[in-house]
Amino acid sequence: MSFLRTVYYYYSLRKNLNCSRKKILELREKKFRKILKYAYRKIPFYKDFYGSYGIKENMLKEIPINELPMINKNLIIDDFNKFFKDNQITKSKVENFLKNNPNPTSLLFNKYHVIHSSGTTGMVGYYLYSEREWDFIKAISTRMFSNFTLKRKKYAFIGAVDGHYAAISLFLSPLNQPEKFFYKDYMVMDINKPIKTYLKKLNDFQPDNLTGYPFGIRSLAQFQNEGLLNIHPEVIVCGGEPLLKNVKQFLKEIWKDAEIVDSYATSESLAMGVSREDLKGMYIYDDAVYIEIKEDRTILTNLYNYTQPIIRYELTDILKKSKNNERKWPFTKIEQVIGRNELIPFFINENGEKDFIHSIVIAEFFVKGVTKFQFVQKNQSFFVFKIVVSQKEYSDKIVEEVRNKLTDILEKKKMKNVNFDVKIVEDIKPDEKTGKYKLILIE
């Protein structure tokens, strides 16, 4: 059923590409009113939340979207158990599931995909998707390819792989499904291991499609430039962090015949938008999300997730609308996603070589009981990991688990020589000058 449903979504979504802009906006509005009505009736949080603002059910048919109150990660964390129709879903059960089931393909209660993320806020969030919603995500993800076919290909991925992170979860989702047929073969590279250890295997593998974080793919391009790597991917899909113009240009110089794709996704919605060379810009999927672009933030409404409805949610991403009115698709066109960059700390490893710990690995750090954290690099052989804990009576145990997790990260990177301290703090405040929280500091 899952595969047939994905095929159905695929053909339905393809039709939207040929609609008029007016038709897409009408479709977006229809989907918005539907999920808004559902959330008010079925999700305990929204009825209470909207009621506190004097918003009643009979107003939902016409109330302008910008008159609805916004939500944020703090609200979701504080009232997590009230965001679901399924009352067996609780924060405690989700945390225990993540702790005991690190395999990205495992499902909560054998029915929900769980994505955990701190993003650039340093605060851990959990986002759930039903298998139906996951099939929708798989179908819309085919928009990443300008010439999508059913031809079997070899796929390689580089990124964080040892947990329920968005990118690896989506990459591995065809496994144990009929669509695995289209994976002629696949290769997974853990970005938290020295990239050099994968070069020979990657040369032997010769992927048709290369997917991963731009920084990791750029590192592979550098090895190709130095003659240590010799692969010729047809498509390179970047996601998880901004694809900067200079990085995109470098990738194109190294792999001239490859199509470079920039996939825009968040944990709150794995289907947000895409930029391809033939599109000449990035398009937001207006048939999957309702995006309100503000000067200093972006407000997201997920139109397809009924498991955990997210309506008018504040993102720290800053989108810049395109000045070019020429559109290939009838969707909102933007120039770029800004405001998501994080510093990447470099250390000297056991072999005396300079290597990095990717910011995504730090952003996706998870230990039960840690509600907020910050990575502070002091020098090339030492860092401090600040944490805020939810249960002080278990602080010693939490610190021990954090130390073990950080030690594992360093061992994978051959950085056992790098020292660190774990420091419990009452709170981690934003930067005094900018007012923005920094996940990674390099002093």
Which tens digits make up the pLDDT trace of 150-170? 789 999 999 989 889 999 999
CATH architecture designation of domain 346-442: 2-Layer Sandwich (3.30)
Q: How confident is the model at residue 178 (pLDDT cuts 50, 70, 90)?
A: confident
Q: How confident is the model at residue 358 (pLDDT cuts 50, 70, 90)?
A: confident
Average pLDDT, the chain: 92
CA distance 116 to 202: 29
If one counts every other C-beta atom within 10 angstroms of the C-beta of residue 12, the result is: 13
CATH architecture designation of domain 1-341: 3-Layer(aba) Sandwich (3.40)
Q: Which residue has the higher pLDDT, 342 or 276?
A: 276
Whether the per-residue pLDDT at 403 is higher than 70: the answer is yes
If one counts every other C-beta atom within 10 angstroms of the C-beta of residue 176, the result is: 9
Whether the per-residue pLDDT at 435 is higher than 80: the answer is no
**Which of 74-78, 162-166, 262-266 has the lowest average pLDDT?**
162-166
Residue-level pLDDT at 436:
59
Residue-level pLDDT at 221:
95
Q: Which of 280, 15, 271 is nearest to 141 (CA)?
A: 271
Residue-level pLDDT at 320:
84
Q: Which residue has the higher pLDDT, 246 or 230?
A: 230
Q: Which residue has the higher pLDDT, 87 or 147?
A: 87
> Using CB atoms within 10 A of its CB, is residue 72 exposed (0-12), middle (13-18) or buried (19+)?
middle
Residue-level pLDDT at 431:
67
Long-range contacts of 112-117 (CB under 8 A, 24+ apart): 112/307, 113/164, 113/169, 114/164, 115/164, 115/165, 115/166, 115/169, 115/267, 115/270, 116/163, 116/164, 116/165, 116/267, 116/364, 116/366, 117/165, 117/166, 117/267, 117/363, 117/364
Mean pLDDT value of segment 317-340: 83
What's the angle, vertex CA 373, arms to CA 371 and CA 378, rounded to 5? 165
Residue-level pLDDT at 121:
62
Residue-level pLDDT at 343:
83
Using left for φ > 0, alpha for ψ between -120 and 50, and beta otherwise, residue 122 falls in left
Mean pLDDT value of segment 237-251: 88
Query: Strand 298-302 and strand 289-293: pairing?
Result: antiparallel
Q: Determine what percent of the chain is predicted with pLDDT higher than 90.
A: 74
| Cβ within 8 Å of residue 162, ≥6 positions away | 102, 190, 192
Residue-level pLDDT at 432:
65
Residue extents of the structural domains in the chain: 1-341, 346-442
Q: How confident is the model at residue 394 (pLDDT cuts 50, 70, 90)?
A: confident
Mean pLDDT value of segment 65-90: 96
Q: How confident is the model at residue 136 (pLDDT cuts 50, 70, 90)?
A: very high
Rg over alpha carbons for the chain, rounded to the nearest Å, is 22
Whether the per-residue pLDDT at 400 is higher than 60: the answer is yes
Q: What is the pLDDT of residues 100-111, one digit of tens each?
A: 999 999 999 999
Residue 53 amino acid letter: Y
**Which of 255-259, 276-280, 378-382 has the lowest average pLDDT?**
276-280
Q: Which two tokens stand for residue 404?
A: 């073990």
Residue-level pLDDT at 122:
65
Residue-level pLDDT at 411:
96
Whether the per-residue pLDDT at 97 is higher than 90: the answer is yes
Residue-level pLDDT at 340:
60
Whether the per-residue pLDDT at 201 is higher than 70: the answer is yes
| Cβ within 8 Å of residue 268, ≥6 positions away | 125, 127, 300, 302, 310, 313, 315
Residue-level pLDDT at 244:
81
Q: Determine what percent of the chain is predicted with pLDDT higher than 70.
A: 96
Mean pLDDT value of segment 297-314: 97
